[in-house]
Amino acid sequence: MALALKRKISFPVTEKDYLKLICNFIYRLGLADCWYEKREIRYPILNKAFSLIVNIFWVIFTVNVLAANYRTDLTLKESNDVLLFSYGLPAISLKVIILYAKKEEIKVFFKKLLEGEVTQHSNKKAIRAAIVVYVVVCCGLFSATVYMLYGIKDYFVEDIPVRVEVLYYPKTSDTGLLVNFIRFLAIVHFWYIICIMNSTDYLCLCTLVFIKYKFIRVRMFFEGLGKKSKSSKEFEKEFLNGVILLKHALWCARNVQNTIGSIYSVQIVESITLLVVLLLKAVYAGSDMALLLVCVGSYISIVILTGVYMTYSANITYEALLVPTAIFHCGWEKVKIRPGLRKLIVVTLQQSQKPLYMTAFGVINLSYENFLVVLRLSYSFFVVMRDSKGTRT
C-alpha cells in the first residue's frame, strides 16, 4: 500500500520534471502541447473538443472585455480597469499565439536541453532556484486575489455585482439569470487568464534558470580540470568532454531566443505599459485605500517579475563571460599536448569569448542596467500621460 502510494505521488526533482509539469499544466488549460514526449490520450476526440471550447471561451470573453472601451457609461474606476485590461489581455493573447506558432521548435529545444549527450544528473541548486522563481511568479496570484477581494468589497459597500473584469455586456444595471451566469464566467475567464500568464512566465523563467546553471557547470568543470594533475591522454579526454559541455550550453543559450525568446520579449513591453497604467490608477485612486492597495500590489508584482526576467538573463551573460578565463587556466600548459589539441584550445577560447546576450526583440539587452532603464521609461511615460490628462481637464 505504501509503495503504491509512493508511486502515485511524485514531486518534481529534476529539471525535466519541472518543465514537464509546466508544459502539462499549459496543455491541461487547453493550449498548445509543448512537451516533446508522446502523450497517451484515452479520449482524443473529447480532448480536442475541450481544447476548442476553452479557446473559443477565452477568445469571446477577451473580445468582450476589449469591447468595453466603446462604452460611454463607464465610471472613472471602470475606465481605469478597462485601460489596464486593454494593455494586458493583448499581451497575454500574443504569448498564447507564440506558443502555438513555436510549439514544434520548443519541443526540439526542450529535448536537446534536457536529454542532450552531456545531460547527466540534476543540479540541486538549479532546482532550488526554480522553486524560488515559482514563489516569485505566485506574487501574481496574490495580486489577483487582492483584486478579487476588492470586487467583493464593492459588492457589500456599493451594492454592485462582484466583478473583476469590465465587460461590454452585461452592464452594471443589467439583471437576470443569464446576466449573472455571464458574470460568473467573467470571473472564470479572469482566473484562466491569470493561470495562462503565470504558467507561460514560469516556463520561460525556469528555462533561463537551467541555462544559467549549464554555464556554471561548464565553468566549474574547467576550473576543476586545472586543479588536477593528469597525463596528456587524460587531459585531452577531459578537455574534449568540457568542449562538448560548452557547445551544448552555447547551443541552448542561442536557441532559447529562437523558441521562447519572443515570449519574454512581449513580457518586457507588457511590463512597461502595465506599470504606466498602474501608476495612473494609483494617482486617480484618491482616498480609496483598497484600490490603492490593489494598484501597489500589482505594481510590485510586475516589477519583481520583470526584475527576475532581466536578472536571470543577465546572469547567463555573466556566467558565459567567466568561461574563457576558466578555459585559459584549465592547466593545458602543465601537460604535453599535440598540435591538434593546441589548435582546438585556441578555437574554444575564441568561441567562448564571443559576447552572449539575451535580448528582447533583438534590440534590448536583458541586463541589470536595462532593468533600471525599463523602470525609468515606465515612469517617464506615466509623467507624460498624467500631464496630458491634467491639461485636458
Residues in the chain: 393
DSSP alpha helix (H) spans, the chain: 2-8, 15-28, 44-66, 76-115, 124-137, 139-158, 177-227, 232-259, 261-284, 289-328, 339-352, 368-392
C-alpha cell at 131: 522553486
Cα–Cα distance between 163 and 155 in angstroms, integer?
Answer: 9
**pLDDT digits (tens), the chain, 393 positions:** 444 444 444 556 788 888 999 999 999 999 999 999 988 888 889 999 999 999 999 999 999 999 999 998 888 778 888 888 998 899 999 999 999 999 999 999 999 998 875 545 557 778 888 888 888 777 777 777 877 887 787 777 776 777 788 899 988 788 889 998 999 999 999 999 999 998 998 999 999 999 999 999 999 999 988 777 678 888 888 899 999 999 999 999 999 988 888 888 898 888 888 888 888 888 877 677 777 877 888 888 888 888 888 999 999 999 999 999 999 988 888 888 888 888 898 999 998 898 899 888 878 888 888 899 888 888 888 888 777 755 554
Cα–Cα distance between 194 and 176 in angstroms, integer?
Answer: 28
Query: Reduced to 3 states, what is the DSSP secondary structure of residue 365?
Result: strand
Residue extents of the structural domains in the chain = 15-32+43-111+122-391
Neighbours of 385 (CB within 10 A): 15
Cα–Cα distance between 58 and 335 in angstroms, integer?
Answer: 64
Query: Reduced to 3 states, what is the DSSP secondary structure of residue 89?
Result: helix
